[in-house]
Amino acid sequence: MSDDARDILRELLAEALAGTNGNGVTPQVPPPPVAAVHRPATWEAPAGGVERVSLAGDDDLNRFVRDLLTRADRDAILAGHVRFTLGAAAAPPADATRIDRGAVTERTVAAAAKAGGRLVLGPRAVLTPLAREKARALGIEIERES
């Protein structure tokens, strides 16, 4: 390698290690959020507002979708003028056994069968394979929250 090439390489390395990209601009680490980069300066919140939706299970989801199909402001929803956010899920029914965290064993499934026949698992609960088989055999419904 010639001396000129070495000098150029040294300059490029010094510039790269100094944190500039050659234009005197230091790159941001971490980069700004995508929404801040892609959202135009004229962006405003949706005119129709934001509606909070609480979904505790499949029945609530089906009801919500059916309501959407019958709404008069469907065009505003499709255009993005009305937005939806997920609200807090409703509490599980009284006949459900709720497990927030930890291992769900066969013994837990048997207790749920005596209490009413439903298990609601939190995001940190782990269902063991034997407990899953026991629930299937006893007809216990298992619902997992996210």
Contact criterion met (CB below 8 Å) for 26 and 19: yes
CA distance 15 to 17: 6
Q: How far is CA 63 from CA 4, 106, 119, in A?
A: 73, 34, 22
At 106 the pLDDT is: 92
- pLDDT tens by residue, the chain, 146 residues: 688 888 888 888 777 666 555 565 665 556 555 555 565 666 565 566 777 787 777 778 888 888 888 888 778 777 777 777 777 665 556 667 888 889 999 998 988 888 877 888 888 899 999 999 999 888 888 888 86
**Can you name the residues that pair with 126 across neighbouring β-strands?**
103
Rounded CA separation 90/76 (Å):
28
> Which residues sit opposite 72 in a β-bridge?
none
Residue-wise pLDDT tens digits, 107-145:
989 888 888 778 888 888 999 999 999 998 888 888 888
Question: Sign of the C-alpha dihedral, residues 60, 61, 63, 68?
Answer: positive
* pLDDT at residue 52 in the model: 79
pLDDT, residue 62, reads: 81
Phi/psi of residue 47, nearest 5 degrees: -65, -35
3-state DSSP: the chain helix, strand, coil percent, rounded to 5?
A: 40, 25, 35
Q: Among 89, 133, 137, which residue's Cα sits nearest to residue 98? A: 89
Say what the pLDDT of residue 35 is. 54
